[in-house]
């Protein structure tokens, strides 16, 4: 399992070799989504300017 902060994912490989992801949202997903929507343009501009620090504060 991997905790991405905004969700938790479980990765498994099926018998055909395909990797499947099962994900469950964080309990505060609506709050996280609202915050990310307000900072999206600023975060993108920061990233394009070369600052590649994470914007995932929930991990």
Non-local CB neighbours of 58 within 8 Å, separated by 6+ positions:
5, 6, 26, 28, 32
- Residue 43 covered by a domain: yes
Q: Which domain holds residue 30?
A: 2-48
In this predicted structure, what is the pLDDT of residue 45?
A: 97
In this predicted structure, what is the pLDDT of residue 44?
A: 96
Provide the domain count of the chain. Answer: 1
- Residue 10 covered by a domain: yes
pTM of the model: 0.61
In this predicted structure, what is the pLDDT of residue 24?
A: 94
- Residue 59 covered by a domain: no
- Residue 9 covered by a domain: yes
pLDDT digit string, tens, across residues 35-58:
999 999 999 999 999 999 988 887
Non-local CB neighbours of 11 within 8 Å, separated by 6+ positions:
2, 19, 20, 21, 22
Pair 18, 6: CB distance under 8 Å: no
Q: Work out the average pLDDT over 7-28.
A: 95
In this predicted structure, what is the pLDDT of residue 5?
A: 84
């Amino acid at each position: 399992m991997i905790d991405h902060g905004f969700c938790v994912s479980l990765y498994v490989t099926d018998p055909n070799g395909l990797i499947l992801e099962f994900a469950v949202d964080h309990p505060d997903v609506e709050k996280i989504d609202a915050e990310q929507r307000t900072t999206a343009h600023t975060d993108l501009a920061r990233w394009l300017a070369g600052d590649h620090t994470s914007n995932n504060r929930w991990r």
